[in-house]
Amino acid sequence: MIAIDEGEAVPDQADAFSGLCFMGGPMSVNDPLPWIDSVCALIRDAVSKNIPVIGHCLGGQLMSKALGGQVTRNPVKEIGWGGAHGEDNAIARHWLGNFAGASGTIFQWHGETFSIPQGATRLFANAYCANQMFALGPHLGMQCHVEMTPEMIAKWCEQWAEEAAAAADQPSVQTPAEMEEQIAERLPVMRQLSEQLYSVWIAGLKR
């Protein structure tokens, strides 16, 4: 684990790693932060060497930016539980398995969206955010969060309750109470999707 938010240096090259995983964060990839360019360079280095990269929310946006895409404001904020529909093509079937051409449950907390980088394939979309997920070879970029645990959801609802309340008039936003009430129903369903995605990504790791 490299704690960028605590000032740890971003590696210059990806050679020492079997794969790279980038998580979420409250900042934007368009913010003038000193580590953005270094992370994007590391992603490009990994992709050039076929070292698998996976990104969640901010991580997916970093991947898109690094690979020539753009990150812009989404028409609405998405906060809480929702669904998305899987594409149905050969690449989607490889990554999504039974979720290709079908609906899946996902968790969201974002106000921006990425474009699909050149050469990549969109895997998931919904009515509020067209680009929920893309794949490029062994690399997977996600706008949504499939990694959530009950503890993470409770923590986010506590830390960012004001953000959810400020956007409560949007149909794509749930209240913290709604998010937590639906954990028991929604999380096991999302686990099926996350296990499918992570199993495919892990299979591509260099041994």
Sequence-distant (6+) residues with CB within 8 A of 32 are: none
Helical axes 58-66 vs 36-48, angle rounded to 10°: 70
What number of helices (H) and strands (E) belong to the chain?
7, 7
In the chain, what are the domain boundaries?
Answer: 4-203
* The pLDDT value given to residue 166: 94
Q: Decide: pTM greater than 0.85.
A: yes
Contact 25, 58 (CB under 8 A): yes
Reading the block at residue 2, the tokens are: 């490299």
Instruction: Determine the pLDDT at residue 194.
Output: 98
**Structure confidence at residue 207 (pLDDT):** 63
* Residues 67 and 43: beta-carbon distance below 8 Å: yes
Helix (H, G, I), strand (E, B) or coil at 158: helix
Number of neighbours of residue 4 by Cβ within 10 angstroms: 18
Q: What is the full per-residue pLDDT of the chain (207 aa) written as tens digits?
A: 999 888 899 999 999 999 999 999 999 999 999 999 999 999 999 999 999 999 999 999 999 999 999 999 999 999 999 999 999 999 999 999 999 999 999 999 999 999 999 999 999 999 999 999 999 999 999 999 999 999 999 999 999 999 999 999 999 999 999 999 999 999 999 999 999 999 999 999 976
Query: How far from chain centre, in Å, is Cα 122?
Result: 13
Fold of 4-203: Rossmann fold (3.40.50)
Structure tokens at 73: 């404001």
